[in-house]
Structure 1
């Protein structure tokens, strides 16, 4: 993937942040889901070492051993995920917060917010212990609401919703030299963190409020919290200044074991990066997120997660339409030899290619709740199918006209030479036409226009044949009248046959269109059902984690805080319940309106069938999902 890190978001000389086009180009080539791990913290705290370990390398992110901060902006390293097949691990090493040379607190906040917005897992790296000073250094958590919004509309519970969309939070405490002991009893690392985040109860003074504020926000914003403490890697100063090059045998076994546990946890618990709706994204989409969030913070000073997700979905849905339609076109050109023998054969080929195209569209598209892009996709597919149908007919006509020309050469020459003007000429004229017709009908591969081209040719000879008939002295007037009637009757029968074939073609095309409509409807329902299930899973997880917070506050006797979390739980449960009964009905109705615009001739045929099948298929899908 990448041999070394590259700057993703750089600090410009003007004190702004800008996305590096080269890094975006790298991300654009990653079509796999991405697990994004960011690390933030004060400079000179060993962040880069941990990121190199996650990358499975000794070198990569610049460690630096002097008193100046090495990392500027946000650096990115993409590597294959070591435990999740077909996933890419994207590591983001951020510029150290509190760099005295930079002296720009706003810039620190921008970096911190971007790390939060882009990550599946956020690692906060600090030294020493988790005490009041360490928590105060994490002041950026309290300022997040200045730059990040979940929804574009005003929302009283805005900050309460952060936990649904923020990454898991891991506090890495470096050079930890104390015993994990609270109130005389041994505790785990996680218990150590949660104890440090306990609130003062009650809040009697302003100082108590200041003490509680960062803790409340940390607990509210990050639903999943984990702590790891690390010994100093080595007692030797020279080793600490040469971590990239020294052998692991010179490092403390305890430090190595702690590092391994940290990496294992990240690999196991950090999931693919998701946007609002629980939709996992690819590297290409992560590049769009990085650009959108950076530009939003630099221009409007607010990064709205819903707006960015909407913009991303529009881009991806448009790309999904183009990719799917192009796939259909390419597969038709590859797999179909024109002309096909029958219209049914053409439609069968087309359906197979269309099914593949639909899967392409559904796989890439997301959040197309108004079915805007589905409508565009269906319109373009109908247009492409129509174009290929015309190609099939044109190729058939070309083959058929060439055969008529081939078999009628001698006949046309005889007409020019007046060979049929002699006595008995009409009988010879009929015989020659019959021979042309028989030879033509015996030829394979004429395609869907075979009958029409033959009928046109025979009709073109009708008036000539009648002229020859009237001048043929071998026939009586009665015989001429009877023969003329038979000739006209045969042409009319041929015309009727062609009309019937055209009606049959219309019926077959209508049936094919109905099948296509129903498959599109089923695909859309299953796609939306999957998205809703993802959302429900996210809601259930958030509910469980908020219940944990509520119970924690209840144990501390903090009823007001517990009630606040209960209100959030009730809101999540209400959202979860809204995912259930008859949700598919308005979707089907909206789909019917799309169909009525694209294919008005089949809406009456397809309407009831689509809704009935939709309900049945959804229930089957739901049943299999539960099992």
Structure 2
């Protein structure tokens, strides 16, 4: 375990980098092929359309095309909160940009649906930072507010880190806005076959949680003692000790806090002073350079951004599956479709659907790469070994592509399909290799044997001494043929076939050669017939050896494939076990904290968390 941790830290250290910008100062993202592409401004990922007075969520196809360009794993940060609370401005700071997500200076909500913007990750070269800005909760102009819970659910399910943006204090009103956490269990279904604790099962799908308190002007003190921002949040999430006659209101109070603590195991709080004391400047904040902003706000913003960059992990589904841009687009489609159609998203079914799509693409991309590589081989190859070595090299490359893209192929359905297509393609190219070689070899034989064939047709060997001249002619053809280069894999077979085809002519020539005695003719004829048998046997052996090499190579490639599959499955198993151990440890700690918490008198006396802060 320690060794794996050291290796992980080493990989992280190697992958760290700074933001890259072009000459115009625009952010750019390096793809896996080292080519660079950029996203100049946010686009709508999920549109919120109103049809017949009811909200309907629709995925924007253009955003899916944009996401498909990201081949690296993504870290997804989403923000939720009341409308007109400065969510978009905070996301722009995460993007390292002055402008980006649209801001507004009126009471009208600016962001509708979910908007997306990706930028290079400031700490890691091997991943991309995707930012999701959601429409505000509780917008009175929407008319139908039922989709707030769906927007919130999508923000949770798509992200690695979820920011809740509140104003002034952590108060009951803000917590009431987070009632959607309670509704998640109605909108999301998780099978708990392998996990007894249902809340632990839910939490494996959930992001880290950051509460951003904006325009905070109080002192962080509790009972006269200074506290940290995290203490502030944890204090707000304390449970009331319930008496036997507890009211439903108390139960509701505790239930929301319990869900927040159980589903979002990793929680963090940041408080921000106002960016500027001038109301006029607040309306023009997009235009203000940092040197016009409050220093305290800048330092708080820097700590906030650094925490997210360091702690928001790569987005994963089913614990072990890293999400890249293409997969994020697929998840957006699948989750949105599920919520629109049945109002319930079964996370395992979403993973199965994602796996089906990804595995089909894995087969397609892997086999296409193999075929494209095979097309680069100059046929005919000199030897079968040369052909097989190249085929094995290209199959290894294709297999790597398949394994990198495939997910949850537990029954090896798609792996078997991949291997079958590769095998069929290899055989097609092997046949082409043989045909090219045979075509070339037969042309060479025809060229060098033209004189002999003419002499045979004219009967020039059916004379005394003709057998000797015939054998010399055959030997001359053989030498000339063997001196030719690049004949390919059928070089020996074609020569043997030609020599065998001439044995019948040789027997006739022997029988008509008057220079040979009866005994000599008999002996030469026997030798000729014996050579025919030997040549047939040699041709048969060459064919058997040819297939033996091909089958051995197939077997070795199959063994390599299974070994790589076992390695991948073992890595996934270890990652799964480590994650579940972490979840259960965190759950045990939460239960311990529940037991340690005494009656929360401040809430009983005042009813508002802000009153505990002086």
Report TM bin, short chain.
Answer: 0.7 to 0.9
Query: What TM-score do the two structures reach when normalised by structure 2?
Result: 0.88
Question: Corresponding residue for 2:573?
Answer: 532
Verify the 8 A CA contact 1:279 1:534 in the aligned structure 2: no
Verify the 8 A CA contact 1:151 1:307 in the aligned structure 2: no
Matched, 1:234 2:279: no
1:361: how far off?
A: 1.6
Question: Corresponding residue for 1:604?
Answer: none
Matched, 1:93 2:133: yes
Verify the 8 A CA contact 2:204 2:319 in the aligned structure 1: no
Query: What TM-score do the two structures reach when normalised by structure 1?
Result: 0.86
The DSSP-based 3-state class of the residue aligned with 1:122 is strand
Moved more, 104-113 or 351-360: 351-360
- List structure 1 runs of 4+ shifted beyond 6 angstroms: 152-156
Question: Corresponding residue for 1:73?
Answer: 113
The DSSP-based 3-state class of the residue aligned with 1:493 is helix
Out of 350, 361, 364, the residue aligned to residue 405 of structure 2 is: 364
Question: Corresponding residue for 1:264?
Answer: 306
Supply the distance in 2 between the matched residues of 1:21 and 1:10 (Cα, whole angstroms): 10
Moved more, 400-409 or 419-428: 419-428
The DSSP-based 3-state class of the residue aligned with 2:234 is helix
Verify the 8 A CA contact 1:407 1:436 in the aligned structure 2: yes
Question: Corresponding residue for 1:337?
Answer: 378
Moved more, 481-490 or 541-550: 541-550
1:153: how far off?
A: 8.0
Verify the 8 A CA contact 1:145 1:159 in the aligned structure 2: no
Out of 160, 168, 175, the residue aligned to residue 120 of structure 1 is: 160
The DSSP-based 3-state class of the residue aligned with 1:13 is strand
1:156: how far off?
A: 7.7
**1:45-78, Cα deviation, whole Å (9 max, x unpaired):** 1100100000111111111010100001000001
Supply the distance in 2 between the matched residues of 1:174 and 1:381 (Cα, whole angstroms): 58
Verify the 8 A CA contact 1:117 1:166 in the aligned structure 2: yes
**1:332-356, Cα deviation, whole Å (9 max, x unpaired):** 332x332222222222222222222
Supply the distance in 2 between the matched residues of 1:235 and 1:210 (Cα, whole angstroms): 38
Question: Corresponding residue for 1:195?
Answer: 235
Q: List alignment gaps of at least 5 residues for structure 1.
A: 559-627
Supply the distance in 1 between the matched residues of 2:301 and 2:363 (Cα, whole angstroms): 45
Q: List alignment gaps of at least 5 residues for structure 2.
A: 1-37, 600-614
Supply the distance in 2 between the matched residues of 1:520 and 1:156 (Cα, whole angstroms): 35
Question: Corresponding residue for 1:56?
Answer: 96
1:459: how far off?
A: 2.2
Matched, 1:489 2:489: no
Moved more, 494-503 or 10-19: 494-503
Question: Corresponding residue for 1:375?
Answer: 416
Question: Corresponding residue for 1:4?
Answer: 41
Verify the 8 A CA contact 2:212 2:270 in the aligned structure 1: yes
Question: Corresponding residue for 2:63?
Answer: 23
Question: Corresponding residue for 1:518?
Answer: 559
Higher relative contact order (CA 8 A, sep 6+): 2
Aligned-residue CA RMSD (Å): 1.8
Matched, 1:220 2:262: yes
| Structure 1 segment 182-331 matched on structure 2, within 5 A | 182-203=222-243, 204-331=246-373
Supply the distance in 1 between the matched residues of 2:66 and 2:558 (Cα, whole angstroms): 38
Supply the distance in 1 between the matched residues of 2:537 and 2:302 (Cα, whole angstroms): 81
The DSSP-based 3-state class of the residue aligned with 2:286 is coil
More helix by share: 1
Question: Corresponding residue for 1:454?
Answer: 495
Matched, 1:475 2:512: no
